[in-house]
Chain A
Amino acid sequence: MPDSKISTKEAIMLVITVIVSHTIVTLPTSLLKNTKSAVLLNIIFISIMALLIAYLIYILMRKFQGQDIIDISEYLGGKWCKNIIGTVFIVYFITSSGILLRNFCEGLKIIYFPNTNIVFIMLAFIVTICITNTFKFSANCKTISIILPFVILSIILLFIGNLQHFTFERIFPLLGEGFFNTFILGLGNLTAFGGISCLYIIPPLLKNPEKMKKIALTSIGISAVYLIFCVSTILFMFAFFQNIDEPLPLYTAASYIEFGTFFQRLDAIFLLVWMLEICCYLCIASQFSTILLKKIANLKHSRPLFFIFPLLIFSVALIPKNYAISRFIGDTVYNYVIIFVVFILSLLLLFLANIKKKKEGGNFNEKQVEQTTN
């Protein structure tokens, strides 16, 4: 029953989860690679941009209260448009979660399961998603609301626990590789807020769709603070001059934490919390895909789809031949996909729908009712 309604708090947690899950894998290092020492300046800049975009999405969707991007695309271009947009979003969710799963499991294999085939490691996550898919969407959101605070706590602990290893002067040179790289090319780091994509999908799932503004701004605001903590830990700990990548940079930072001789090797606890977070993200991606397909195919029941999308995610995760390819897709290709789907296509669609609505001057909801009765 993935169509059950969720509260405002759960919706905020959901958006943050999508953003946070990518930071666990390679996001902090790819942000750092692009802007070097100016990364914090860049994050503040892109956070402001993300807040503006989130507000823009709220403004553009205000006239379509309780409607998601699929409904709006149907209003704009009919069934064809609805099907295309729906398919694009499904492909986006499936591929991004598949690649994230692969990259995370590659790290997990190196660290803890050297002799286990990566297929089995990924399968453990897929089985989990298959099981969670059988529960209500709101039940999963409640679980996410429990897990996410632990993830945020782990990042704060990571920051505090590593304070002794910090070199705060690494914030200099302030402009990193220059103004152009920080503020113009650095705009590409906006992909860190790929979780904005959820804002297009969640309106019909909300108990209070009128609180969309609060959801959009609060989730992006919290994510921005989280990102600053996350990237600061990496920036202050490791030299940005080095050209060495790590599968799970936050795990490497966690391995430095020691409180005396008694509390050592806390990295295992961190990894456990992050594994749960990855499960949450995969669950969201899978359930969103189910909701979208149900909508575009006008399905009455979603039960048969419970296992389809986890298996599709698994299939995508199996595609990359090696870690280099999956990392390339995760760091580079995925960024272009986000820019196209989340920031260009969807915004363009919302603009056009608003123009159409303005021209018609009629009430979209009334027309919808009319269409359905016909």
Chain B
Amino acid sequence: MKNKLNKLLISIIIIYLIIAFNSSHVALDLSNLAIVVAMAIDTSDTNNLSVTFQFTNASSVSENGSSEQSPSIVNTVEASSISSAINLMNSYIGKELSLSHCKLIVFSEEFAKQGISEEIYTLMNDNQIRPSTNLVISKCSAKYYIENSKPMLDSLITKYYEVYNNASLYTGYTTDATIGNFFNNLNCGTCEPYGILGGVNVEQNNTDTSINSEKDANSQANNSSISGSLRSENSGLAVFKDATLVGELTAIENLSFLCTKNDIEGFLVSVPNPENDTEYIDVNLVPSKDSKIKVDIINGSPYIKVDFSFTGRIYSMTEDFDFLDNTFLENISKSCNSYLKTTFTNYYYKTSKELNSDINGFGKFVLKHFSTITDFNDYNWNDNYKNSFFDVNVDTNVKSGFLLM
């Protein structure tokens, strides 16, 4: 009797579970979902915004095998809000849009200049959006950027977006900016948000024929010297004040940003040859210590002291170079110090005086000078950042070349 009762109870529980959770299971079933891998938001002439969704066709991937590129589908809808756009698209394609695999959100520069606070809050309110989703501000239209984001060496678009920004760790020319980070910085009080600066490579009619390494370092998305089959490109950083785009940084400024954030493993710089000012030497630098930041308040203005420490090895080689000569290495170290100090200082003053946006998060180092939050709020760091002055020290130790000495 007891056994029968137990069996009956178990059956009731199983039936209950099937009835109760079936609807959620069906809603999350792959055949009922349209997997969005990227989303682009533009301004619209006829409505509030234009949202473009990039889908991946999961079934065609498995049919084609991994050797062929999986096709991605791009659809656009104009709507009054992101939620409304998703709703309209659900209706159009007859499936529910799933944003849980969305790896990229692109805002056009034009849209970002108007402020993206509402969109960021809405997206973060969606439990499907992962905080690790990359955030790009495109210099061209966001839709155009997405349309031109096609994997060159990967077969899957999702795989391509997965490793999308890995190069930032060893080039420093772009950043791994995510929507989670953006949202946190937006609410931070001691820092400002930022995004990846993207664009689509256009044929340059460059009339400047000078040979100058500065040209490489000062490249920006939409403005680089690369030509290739991968047309979308990321280079530089989009700087926000609150949720409004206020400026853009070049590749070398982005490198300064990453060095300050200790978010880089190594990078290449071209510094003037100490023995011949017209020549440049390529040096691979690796941070030997984390950057040391100290912020004091002097006469009401922030005094920010930043110390960097790098070790380097020289890439450039000619028959005249002697890497076993200590004086030669020291001179190159000094040249690196001077070059980086100027670069970093210019970058800091640009964020402070020109953009008035503390994307470096120096504000967190000033918190200890205040005993209460009220005192800190009264000081109004984000508006006082423009009064900052900087003292940058760079200590580079160039050790040798690589194989040739």
Which A residues are within 8 Å of any B CB, using their own CB? 36-37, 110-117, 120-121, 123-124, 127, 167, 169-170, 172-178, 237-239, 241-242, 244, 252, 255-256, 258, 261, 264-265
Contacts and interface: CB of A to CB of B under 8 A. Distances in A.
A114 B24 CA distance: 6
Contacts of A116: 20-21, 23-24
Task: Give the interface centre of B162, B189, B373 by most chain A CB atoms within 10 Å.
Answer: B373
Contacts of B364: 167, 169-170, 172
Interface stretch (B61-69, B125-133, B316-324): B125-133
A115 B367 contact: no
Nearest to A237: B184
Given A173-B371, A177-B372, A178-B374, A127 B13 contact: yes
Nearest to B131: A256
A172 B368 CA distance: 5
Contacts of A176: 372-373
Given A173-B370, A256-B180, 10 more contacts: A120-B19, A121-B20, A169-B190, A170-B367, A173-B375, A239-B184, A239-B188, A241-B188, A256-B131, A265-B130
Contact of B184 (A114, A174, A238): A238
A110 B127 contact: yes
B132 A173 contact: no
Interface of B: 13, 16-17, 19-21, 23-24, 26-27, 127, 130-132, 162-163, 180, 184, 187-190, 361, 364-365, 367-368, 370-376
20 contacts: A114-B24, A116-B23, A123-B16, A167-B364, A170-B367, A172-B370, A173-B368, A173-B375, A175-B371, A176-B372, A177-B372, A177-B373, A177-B374, A237-B184, A238-B184, A238-B187, A239-B189, A239-B190, A241-B187, A256-B131
A238 B189 CA distance: 11
A123 B13 CA distance: 10
Nearest to B367: A172
Contacts of B132: 256, 258, 264
Contact of A124 (B20, B23, B367, B376): B20
A170 B376 CA distance: 12
Nearest to B19: A120
B20 A120 contact: yes
Given A116-B20, A173-B368, A173-B376, A111 B187 contact: no
A241 B21 CA distance: 38
Closest 6 pairs (CB-CB, A-B): A120-B20, A242-B187, A172-B367, A241-B189, A169-B364, A115-B23
A173 B372 contact: yes
Contact of A115 (B16, B24, B130, B370): B24
A107 to B, nearest CB: 10
Contacts of A172: 364, 367-368, 370
A57 to B, nearest CB: 34
B122 to A, nearest CB: 13
A265 B100 CA distance: 10
A197 B101 CA distance: 45
A239 B372 CA distance: 15
A114 B21 contact: no
B373 A255 contact: no
Contacts of B370: 172-173
A165 to B, nearest CB: 8
Contacts of B375: 173
A173 B16 contact: no
Task: Give the interface centre of B163, B374, B375 by most chain A CB atoms within 10 Å.
Answer: B374
A113 B361 contact: no
A127 B9 CA distance: 10
B130 A255 contact: yes
B224 to A, nearest CB: 27
A268 to B, nearest CB: 11
A36 B373 CA distance: 8
A169 B75 CA distance: 44
Contacts of A252: 131
A303 to B, nearest CB: 14
Contacts of A178: 372, 374
A265 B128 CA distance: 11
A121 B20 CA distance: 8
A37 B361 CA distance: 17
B176 to A, nearest CB: 11
Contact of B16 (A37, A127, A238, A255): A127
Nearest to A242: B187
A103 to B, nearest CB: 16
Contacts of A111: 127
A105 to B, nearest CB: 12
Task: Give the interface centre of A36, A178, A237 by most chain B CB atoms within 10 Å.
Answer: A178
A254 to B, nearest CB: 11
Contacts of B361: 167
Contacts of B24: 112-116
A173 B373 contact: yes
Task: Give the interface centre of A37, A239, A242, A264 by most chain B CB atoms within 10 Å.
Answer: A239
A272 to B, nearest CB: 15
Nearest to A130: B9
B20 A173 contact: no
A262 to B, nearest CB: 11
Contacts of A112: 24
A255 B371 CA distance: 33
A112 B365 CA distance: 39
Nearest to B124: A244
A258 B178 CA distance: 13
A334 B376 CA distance: 32
A121 B24 CA distance: 11
A261 B364 CA distance: 30
Nearest to A167: B364
Task: Give the interface centre of A36, A170, A173 by most chain B CB atoms within 10 Å.
Answer: A173
Contacts of B13: 127
A54 B16 CA distance: 43
Contacts of A121: 20
Contacts of B21: 113, 116, 120
Given A112-B24, A173-B370, A173-B371, A124 B17 contact: yes
Contacts of B19: 120
Contact of A169 (B27, B131, B180, B368): B368
